Structure 1
């Protein structure tokens, strides 16, 4: 009996051992939370570029995101992050600074040098020792940097754009393209390991952070792609603002205007901007920011062609634009006579934006070249044998009707270094198309003499014309009228339409010059001259015939008698 009982006890012991052993194995897969920090941990830095329209500003919790759609961006490779271990307070702060690096809202972290970190909030400032833990570490194709087996502690992470070569994969997923990042992310401090925010008596040993860059887009555009000499039109400079713009120390927009542009005084307006699709659009009336209160404005001189325009935000301006996705600076210019001295009929222009963030990190962004063009019409005058025919005169009109009514485009001019330059076109009617233009009667005739020796009273071509209408989405047409024919030739009699849709490059330059199909004149009929010898012979023959008739008539009367 005792032997049987002993066997049962042995079996129960073995069963209990197996059950307890299985429980222990299960516990190893799901360890019990502990308040004691592990001695080591890993840090993974994920790098994204985000669109300010999509960011939700939700703070990270140290855990890896299984779904990264909320980041609303793309991974960037080639970004270098410098990681430093934060040590004890420096000698000067060892009695005042907390032993644990303070963190949370309002604290900023600034690297004073390679061995010193400054931590500040309001009037509280402390300094800690730094030891660099990474060397030339850049994000991989997945946009990641992984630092393994870091000792327990606090780590200062700083984005090093100067040493970075940022690239982002294209939509095909195979090729890469460079991406311009003007503003680094705010430097930050992270604990490794860190307390699990969802389980406050546990630790996260694999810490993930997602610092995201904002691509600061800057775009300059004219209100029209093509204008006439003398036209006033507007330019807009759209700037995507960093989300922490209120903390910035410098924001300056500079535009050096082309000499073919004359700035319109007091025309600057600053608008709040939102991006709709791929275009920045103005929001509001443009009166939110006040000159000399929220920003300073430096304008070109009153008589200066070209010149420099500068807009600089002031302290209250930074506060007012906080929360704006972007802003648009808009101003007006007029195309002046210097365009006619250019080898090409293109007015190119760029703007530059300079930033300095709260950590005194400077960056600069330049817009792409924006262009406005004008067109020329060169009249190619030929005879019947396809030879150049000089000494004809042409004028030009906006419409076929105005051409037939001989209501041609007239001009205002000035003489620059002995050369006559057009400053303004004068039309027979005002913008409504019906009201007579009071300036038209006294304006100068615009006459072109093709293939003729240059004369101060004439032009070699029609120049400075608008080539495209944005409002009507069409290329512009003009009507040429021959107002004087060469000697021994007939006038054309009808207007000739010229459309800039058929314009082409001349000598490899994008001049928008247009040479019409050869305009051919034919010689007129030869008419006899009155009072010449032919007329005298007719008179003599007539007298003889009349005399002969009289003599015959007298002879007939004598016979009858």
Structure 2
């Protein structure tokens, strides 16, 4: 039978433990998942090495096939673990990863056709980076339908994943002996019976995903928009640590101001990380980032072990919508820089990310952007002969759809609920959210905007009827024209507030009437 090597994300543990004496048989670990050491050891004798030379090394220039199977998913135990051919459950529920590139280089100072070579091989550890001077020319293998295959001479090879699937973490580099021994028996009775010239390896990539949400239902200038960014977490590698986790948020600084004291980071399961201790906030140009510190990364490792694939890092914050924001889309995107699970160095220096020029040695995950759609309403006030009228005051309301019936009080935008026309007879209400798009999705049109005149220009009659001023995602600006006629009574009264003025006018009229009656009665008496 042949042998299959199964690998977790951290890589493949292969080893030879040398017994006493250079000529003694060598116990050889066929394969092990990450985190296990030298299991299933089998003795490789000098006779076995001679068989290797006769039966494999003599079979042409490249007698051993290496098959790298790539799938997206959490590392799982491959069953049966050491079957030799393609494992019967390797792809269960997983997606083949195409276009993944591996660089395979021979370790030139190890000769597996000698006992000394096996002795050197016994000292290798995946966490040890080989001396570049001892590596041969690179061979690039690229996956198609999840498999990359190459043929090689007998030897030890160092395999690195050099092109990783989009949104996935890379597997750690690993060593592999080609070929691998075939065995019979178990335990101390296990012996080498031949050599596997068709080696299958199953390192798995883990897909890291990101999501962004926005809560901006009925928000206006001067108010805060709530954002969350969440990212998944790969499995903990054999080093039992993560070398980093960063989120960089890219916001529209022309329309948004991030509110610093609202920034918070939590982990699945309710763990809240402490700013300055577990993560650092980094500012840039139109960007800010959070970088987990060593303390935060340790908590992330614990959370991933406790919660598995459900673990997520969640960044939440609020941003103030600026006054005067121009019509358009206040977009907000993000990138997640996950741990580099191919990093075999457990002793690393953790530096905060440079948000303007990210310095992490990982491929970032682009998080789909969210947006707030803004429009504006312009009111043009004119009189007879289209003359511009200044001094007219208006308020903005939500009206029932398709009507001009107001369904709530006036809308406040940046602490203002009344707008006055200028000398050109116009006034613009900026940074007004459209009616039919919020929370980053098209919504049912629950209301239409309308404007109400609350005070007419001097000498003109008030027009108190609400006037439709709808703005939608498809039509983000609206210019409303409102005409006033001269007030022949010369009484110009507001519709809201200033009730005392109204009563004073009425009272004055009554006094004038009483005075007229008094003088008329006195004249008759005379």
State TM-score, norm by structure 2. 0.61
CA shift for structure 1 position 268 = 0.4
Residue 126 of structure 1: aligned partner: none
1:221 to 208, 213, 216: 213
- 3-state DSSP of counterpart to 1:76: coil
Inter-partner Cα distance in structure 2 for 1:73 and 1:227: 41
Residue 271 of structure 1: aligned partner: 267
2:418 is the counterpart of 1:446: yes
CA shift for structure 1 position 448 = 4.3
Residue 376 of structure 1: aligned partner: 376
1:138-157 aligned within 5 A:
138-139=141-142, 141-148=144-151, 150-157=152-159
Which structure has the larger Rg?
1
2:243 is the counterpart of 1:252: no
1:281-320 aligned within 5 A:
284-287=269-272, 289-291=273-275, 295-298=278-281, 308-315=288-295, 316-320=298-302
2:136 is the counterpart of 1:131: yes
Deviations 1:241-286 (A, max 9, x none): 22235433232333365442232415403122xxxxxxxxxxx334
Residue 74 of structure 1: aligned partner: 96
The answer (yes or no) to whether the contact 1:257–1:307 under 8 Å persists in 2 is yes
The answer (yes or no) to whether the contact 1:226–1:373 under 8 Å persists in 2 is no
Deviations 1:419-465 (A, max 9, x none): xxx3xx4xxxxxxxxxxxxxxxxxx54214278367xxxx5225344
1:42 to 64, 68, 76: 64
User: Any gaps of 5 or more consecutive residues in structure 2?
Assistant: 1-46, 58-62, 346-359, 492-526
1:478-489 aligned within 5 A:
478-486=449-457
Cα distance 1:242–1:197, how it changes in 2: closer, same or farther (>3 A)? farther
1:159 to 158, 161, 167: 161
1:341-490 aligned within 5 A:
341-342=325-326, 344=328, 346-353=330-337, 355-357=339-341, 358-359=343-344, 362-365=361-364, 366-381=366-381, 389-391=388-390, 392-398=392-398, 407-410=409-412, 422=414, 425=415, 444-449=416-421, 452=424, 459-465=427-433, 467=435, 468-470=437-439, 473-475=443-445, 477-486=448-457, 490=461
Cα distance 1:51–1:481, how it changes in 2: closer, same or farther (>3 A)? farther
Inter-partner Cα distance in structure 1 for 2:490 and 2:454: 25
Inter-partner Cα distance in structure 2 for 1:225 and 1:474: 12
Cα distance 1:482–1:195, how it changes in 2: closer, same or farther (>3 A)? same
- 3-state DSSP of counterpart to 1:108: coil
2:133 to 93, 115, 126: 115
1:5-16 aligned within 5 A:
none
- 3-state DSSP of counterpart to 1:209: strand
The answer (yes or no) to whether the contact 2:170–2:340 under 8 Å persists in 1 is no
Deviations 1:24-72 (A, max 9, x none): xxxxxxxxxx9644424422333434144xx534376342246653160
2:520 is the counterpart of 1:515: no
Deviations 1:331-386 (A, max 9, x none): 2223143x52557452434345264442368214143443333332223556788x
The answer (yes or no) to whether the contact 1:381–1:450 under 8 Å persists in 2 is no
Residue 169 of structure 1: aligned partner: none
- 3-state DSSP of counterpart to 2:301: helix
Cα distance 1:474–1:192, how it changes in 2: closer, same or farther (>3 A)? same
State TM-score, norm by structure 1. 0.58
The answer (yes or no) to whether the contact 1:393–1:485 under 8 Å persists in 2 is yes
Inter-partner Cα distance in structure 1 for 2:387 and 2:271: 56
Inter-partner Cα distance in structure 2 for 1:188 and 1:146: 16
Deviations 1:471-514 (A, max 9, x none): 9943453331022345676544322344444642xxxxxxxx33
How many residues are aligned here?
394
CA shift for structure 1 position 102 = 5.0
Inter-partner Cα distance in structure 2 for 1:305 and 1:228: 24
The answer (yes or no) to whether the contact 2:78–2:87 under 8 Å persists in 1 is no
- 3-state DSSP of counterpart to 1:43: strand
- 3-state DSSP of counterpart to 2:394: strand
Residue 186 of structure 1: aligned partner: 172
CA shift for structure 1 position 329 = 2.4
Residue 88 of structure 1: aligned partner: 110
- 3-state DSSP of counterpart to 2:67: strand
CA shift for structure 1 position 402 = 12
Cα distance 1:472–1:465, how it changes in 2: closer, same or farther (>3 A)? closer
1:207 to 193, 199, 204: 199
Cα distance 1:264–1:198, how it changes in 2: closer, same or farther (>3 A)? farther
- 3-state DSSP of counterpart to 1:362: coil
- 3-state DSSP of counterpart to 2:324: helix
2:99 is the counterpart of 1:99: no
Inter-partner Cα distance in structure 1 for 2:227 and 2:489: 60
